[in-house]
Amino acid sequence: MNYTIISLCDEPEWKERAAEWFHEKWGIPAEVYAESMEACLSQRNAVPQWYLAIRDDRIIGGLGVIENDFHDRKDLTPNVCAVYTEEAERGKGVAGALLEYVCRDMRQRGIDTLYLVTDHTSFYERYDWEFLCMVQGDGEPELTRMYVHR
């Protein structure tokens, strides 16, 4: 592994770059990410949290943990969100390492069950996530898969 996984809480100097990076990947305004990241840094609650995979001073992957990832099952919380690995880095275990890191870190923060919504049908099973149910995304016509990690 020639990259480092960090928690934004431990290295807050990444906040602005991270907000912009997630914005570029998902199209959600950078301000929305920055606001969540600021809550992570200032409140020191278990949720929200943000994590990055860093190589050579650049972000190659990342994900967050938020209360709800824009779906109708508000009882299934917290949610891993915005999982992304740069295309050139895919197939090298970056996303898996991030997922393992977030599960371990959240367990240390007292949260041992995490949820995740995705269109992928086999990727997350490799990392001990289980399909739970279908959920309705906010403003989405199609149902989306919900996974759980316990």
Beta bridge partners of 98: none
The pLDDT score that the predictor gives to residue 44 is 74
Distance CA 53, CA 23 (A): 16
The answer to whether 91 and 83 are in contact (CB under 8 A) is no
Distance CA 74, CA 79 (A): 10
The pLDDT score that the predictor gives to residue 45 is 83
The pLDDT score that the predictor gives to residue 139 is 87
pTM attached to this predicted model: 0.94
Mean pLDDT across the chain: 95
Domains contained in the chain, CATH given? 4-111 (3.40.630.30)
Classify burial at 138, counting beta carbons within 10 Å of its beta carbon; exposed 0-12, middle 13-18, buried 19 or more. exposed
The answer to whether 105 and 50 are in contact (CB under 8 A) is no
Tens of pLDDT, residues 28-80: 999 999 999 999 999 878 999 999 999 999 999 999 999 988 899 999 999 99
Closest alpha carbon to 53 in 84, 13, 23, 76: 84
Q: How confident is the model at residue 122 (pLDDT cuts 50, 70, 90)?
A: confident
The pLDDT score that the predictor gives to residue 41 is 93
Residue with tokens 């995979």, as numbered in its chain: 53
